[in-house]
A and B are shown apart, each in its own frame.
Chain A
Amino acid sequence: MTPDTPFDFAFAGRVYRAQPGDTIASALARNGVRVLSRSFKYHRPRGLLCAAGHCPNCLVQVGDEPNVRACMRLVEPEMVVEPQNAWPSLGFDLMAVVGWLDRFLPVGFYYKAFIRPRALWPWFERFLRRAAGLGRVRSTTPPGHTLKKYLHADVVVIGGGRSGLQAAIAAARAGADVALFDEHPTLGGRLNITGEETAAAERAALLAQAAVQPNLRAYTQATVLGWFEDHWLPVMQGNCLLKVRAKAVVVATGAYEQPLLFPNNDLPGIMLAGAVRRLLHGHGVKPGKRAVVVTNNDEGWAVAAELLAAGVTVAALADTRLPDGGSARALPGVTVFWGHTVARGEGRGTLRRVWLAPLTEGGESARPTQAIPCDLLVVAAGSTPANGLLYQAGARIAYDEGIGQFVVQELPPGVFAAGRVTGRMGGDAAAIGRQAAAFALGETPNPAPIADDAPALPAPCYRPTPGKAFVCFCEDVTAKDIATAVAEGFDSLELVKRYATVTMGPCQGKMCAAASIHLTAAATGRAIAATGVTTARPPMTPVPLGVLAGPHLEPLRRTPLDEWHRRHGARMLVAGLWHRPEHYGDPTAEVLAVRQAVGLIDVSTLGKLRLTGPGVPAFLDRLYTTRMGDLPVGRVRYGLMANDEGVILDDGVTARLGEQEWYTTTTTGNAEAIYEWLQWWAQAGWGQGVHITDVTEDFAAFNLAGPQARAVLQALTTADLSNEAFPYLHVRQFDIAGVPCRVLRIGFTGELSYEIHCPAGFGLHVWEALLEAGAAFGIRPFGVEAQRVLRLEKAHIIIGQDTDAMSDPLSAGMAWAVKFDKADFLGRRSLVRVNSLGLRQRLVGFEVLTPGVTPEEGLQIVAPNGDGRPAIIGWVTSSRYSPTLGRAIGLCWLPADLAARPGAVFTIHRDAGPVQARVHHGPFYDPTGARLRG
């Protein structure tokens, strides 16, 4: 994939040449491009700072992808890279005028400014949205392809630097299955960038050792986003989210280099030592022509020597320490300023010179004394441990006065720390790896000791020089802003964070958390330890929502007849996970076919349960409000289920197929929940002699309904279908078109009907045979819409549409389905109380009086209250135009006294004007039920 010859790419409308192995950032540095972005609030020019994926300075737009870290993304031929947050251009950004207005945009300005006048807010909002922010999400971009994968390992090592590699190799050699994750394109961490001759050799040796371990898998450009319970790690690798389960985790995430706090410390050309070394040694790019180095440890001296070796002029080196002789190394031509720091940077657009100042005895920087022209300032002023994942894992981390850092004190079981993340340089990472392997393989107990004999990681300097010194590069928060926030009363770290938004930008505190602690401590006069830390939370790094969402997949259930429905013009609707035919083009004709001739509907989506055993009668009597235990063999009964609140859960029919075999259906939407509900009561103590099997997908089911249903069915079977041999509410098992079926005589539609259940694999055969036999009788397949009309004409309720989580069977007009004379059943206790208190609302039928109107389901029913204004007294749950009756009918909830009076007129509120309706009791069609019994 990676090209091996130079190639071209575009940035900000210009074409540049990149070398193989370049990141976007290194390629731009190679071409002398120094300004990569404009800052969030003041639109200040920003350039490469950390080159390690930590800071926000190099966020760019790559094609349609916003917020790409240019230092972490390998550049590709023809890649089109655009800067973000600059208008009209990166070099000339009109919004930079905001920087001059900063006195009007103080810390927390969004709580103070732009509030009044309120009428102008839409204008302010448009301006602010344009002024602030990061990349641009193009709404026209097609959704990207994202993946999720699962990965299991004994030991996960996070960080592929020296310590991480050592730990991973040791753990693999100890027999553990190891996965190593590193967010950079290449393994090796600082071994890639230190420039020491031994480093390259050490890196090669480690990679060779890793390569021969078949049980060690290494993933690059793979960012661990967080730590979750039981070592569950989300890892982002490109467009893929790896969900990783480990038995032990070694955190070897190293440290974050920190900037120095002085005015204009954000000018392009000011870089952290790691960025300079990565450009020099990782990419062979000279980061500048004339450099000044400022340091508080030995690394600055090493970088100065490396710059000299690369042919870069080093004008000066300022070391905040006093000369101790030990650190000094020969730097020909470099003026060394001991006990000095950088007091300010200067330059328009990019760095032109720095002012050095001596430090006083108390560590304050005095008046600047030396101005040194330069185009590069190397800041080698200390690092903080990258221990956010350890925080998330529950490690105890406390401030160590001795080394001036928050360091890990105690680790939770199965979590290990190796290398600079411990706050110390090096340590025996291989030993940590072996401990992790032993823990994962169940060999030794935790916790492992944390190495503490290695030299401390140099701590950063947090004393700001007066002026506009940026603490937070993401949100343009200065050292002064933090002092102001404290002065305004936001005097705890968490409050400073929320008010000033420091640590809340894309870097998530990597560049500013430690500084904000020290500055808050200084402003409040509290100790560092007492100031504490803010909570570390996932994600460690900004993550595209698409990566978290994963691929666009939804489970879908199809009935055995799905293909037939689609072939015959069915318009499908989604019912839970199922797709069902809504109609086949003319729902009214489908209704009339059922009423006048015969129709056939696919009801395979019904939940179907098989219950066996001697305990079933008692079990069903406890679960249903209806009586079930005494159901004779060969009979079918409607069943209603409530919970102990007395709220309706579900309904369906139960057929007794044999002495110890029952067949029960549930509604389509509740099938799974009811199966779990029955299983719970069975497994929790009521299930002696009860066995429940979910056979939903084993059977296809159709309802053959209409006055001609018997004649159609008789054409396909020799069974006696006469009303005497097979009456209403009975079940029979016989062959239809040569397929053994169980047939239930029930009637949701209100017509003579047979619910035919056959093995799913024969579903299509039986269905087609029924349609063929019915052709002479005018049979039509009908869909859910026709069934809704048909059942409404019979005032049959649909659980979940006409009822909700407050509906009890008594209020729903189904007192006939509650058998109080049974022994205890679910809902009995509460329903006894409802019965004694009396009903407040009732579900009742209505006929629309206003001609030509079918009110929408969900409309409110209103009545004038005391002061003449309308009050809501009820609502419409079902409403349809009935082609059979020639008028609109429905079901609604009304106050019990109103609902009790057939013919009482009430008003449905509708935007287009009020609708009059009147209360109707019982079925609208065939109230005696003669048709379905016939």
Chain B
Amino acid sequence: MLLLPCPNCGPRNVAEFRYGGEVHPRPSDPMAVTDDAWTDFIYMRANKAGVQKEWWYHRSGCGLWFLAERDTTTNTVLRTYLPRNGR
């Protein structure tokens, strides 16, 4: 089981966390984007083979939502940090 370093609590078993999916910012003005672009935002993910920026929630811990950079090919976590200015 992976150890995930929570920015508050330090390295903890990944079972304490909830995965929040890859980071894909919400359009700041949804009404300004086309239907296709909006559909892509809702349903399409990059599913990257490589370093991916993603959300994690320390569910059984401090309740923090934070960001992780994880290499999806090796499952190594390069760093974790707090979101700043809305992702």
Contact = CB atoms under 8 A, between A and B. Distances in A.
Interface residues of B, number: 26
A229 B75 contact: yes
Nearest to B28: A824
27 contacts: A228-B1, A229-B1, A229-B2, A229-B3, A229-B75, A230-B2, A232-B1, A232-B13, A245-B13, A644-B26, A644-B30, A644-B41, A645-B42, A679-B57, A679-B63, A679-B65, A683-B65, A684-B65, A684-B83, A685-B85, A685-B87, A824-B30, A828-B31, A829-B30, A830-B38, A830-B42, A832-B31
Interface string A659-692: 0000000000000000010011001111000000
A830 B33 CA distance: 11
Given A676-B59, A679-B65, A833-B35, A828 B20 contact: no
A268 B33 CA distance: 77
A599 to B, nearest CB: 37
Contacts of A680: 20, 55, 57, 65
Given A644-B42, A645-B42, A676-B57, A684 B87 contact: yes
Interface in B1-48: 1-3, 13, 18, 20, 26, 29-31, 33, 35, 38, 41-42
B1 A685 contact: no
Contacts of B51: none
Contacts of A228: 1
Contacts of B30: 644, 824, 828-829
Given A684-B87, A829-B38, 20 more contacts: A229-B75, A230-B2, A232-B1, A232-B2, A232-B13, A245-B13, A644-B30, A644-B42, A676-B57, A676-B59, A679-B57, A679-B63, A680-B55, A684-B55, A684-B65, A685-B83, A685-B85, A828-B30, A828-B31, A832-B31
Size class of the contact patch on chain A: 20 to 34
Given A229-B1, A644-B42, A645-B42, A683 B35 contact: no
> Residue among A230, A232, A830 with the most chain B CB within 10 A?
A230
Interface of B: 1-3, 13, 18, 20, 26, 29-31, 33, 35, 38, 41-42, 55, 57, 59, 63-65, 75, 83, 85-87
Contacts of A679: 57, 63, 65
Nearest to A692: B63
Contacts of B3: 229-230, 245
Nearest to B84: A685
A685 B65 contact: no
Contacts of A683: 64-65, 83
A833 B38 CA distance: 11
A255 to B, nearest CB: 29
Nearest to B32: A829
- Give 9 nearest A-B pairs by CB, closest first: A685-B86, A829-B30, A683-B65, A230-B3, A232-B1, A229-B2, A680-B65, A684-B83, A645-B42
Contacts of B33: 829
Contacts of A229: 1-3, 75
B71 to A, nearest CB: 12
Interface string A692-729: 00000000000000000000000000000000000000
A685 B26 CA distance: 11
Nearest to A688: B86
Contacts of A245: 3, 13
B35 A684 contact: no
A685 B41 CA distance: 18
Contacts of B38: 829-830, 833
Nearest to B86: A685
A679 B42 CA distance: 20
Nearest to B35: A833
B28 to A, nearest CB: 9
A415 to B, nearest CB: 15
A707 B86 CA distance: 50
A618 to B, nearest CB: 14
A230 B63 CA distance: 23
B51 to A, nearest CB: 17
A230 B59 CA distance: 21
A684 B29 CA distance: 17
Nearest to B26: A644
A686 B41 CA distance: 19
A232 B38 CA distance: 41
Contacts of B87: 684-685
Contacts of A829: 30-31, 33, 38
Interface in A809-862: 824, 828-830, 832-833
A829 B38 CA distance: 8
A644 B57 CA distance: 20
A229 B74 CA distance: 10
A676 B20 CA distance: 10
A321 to B, nearest CB: 45
Nearest to A234: B1
Contact of B1 (A230, A676, A686): A230
Contacts of B1: 228-230, 232
A829 B29 CA distance: 9
Contacts of B83: 683-685
B65 A824 contact: no
Interface string A209-230: 0000000000000000000111
Contacts of A232: 1-2, 13
A230 B3 CA distance: 6
Contacts of B63: 679
A824 B31 CA distance: 8
Contacts of B42: 644-645, 830
Contacts of B20: 680
Nearest to A675: B63
A56 to B, nearest CB: 30
B30 to A, nearest CB: 4
A594 to B, nearest CB: 38
B44 to A, nearest CB: 13
Interface string A635-654: 00000000011000000000
A697 to B, nearest CB: 15
Q: Which of A245, A685, A828 has the most CB of B within 10 A?
A: A685
A695 to B, nearest CB: 14
Nearest to B20: A680
Contacts of B64: 683
- Which among B20, B31, B65 has the greatest number of chain A C-beta atoms within 10 A? B65
A685 B83 CA distance: 8
A619 to B, nearest CB: 13
Nearest to A230: B3
B55 to A, nearest CB: 7
Nearest to B4: A230
Contacts of A644: 26, 30, 41-42
B1 to A, nearest CB: 4
A824 B35 contact: no
A680 B31 CA distance: 22
A232 B42 CA distance: 36
B66 to A, nearest CB: 8
Contact of B86 (A645, A676, A684, A833): A684
A829 B32 CA distance: 9
A829 B35 CA distance: 9
A433 to B, nearest CB: 23
Contacts of B31: 824, 828-829, 832
B38 to A, nearest CB: 6
Contacts of B2: 229-230, 232
A876 B46 CA distance: 38
A147 B38 CA distance: 49
A829 B34 CA distance: 10
A644 B27 CA distance: 11
B26 to A, nearest CB: 7
A472 B35 CA distance: 60
Nearest to B59: A676
Contacts of A684: 55, 65, 83, 86-87
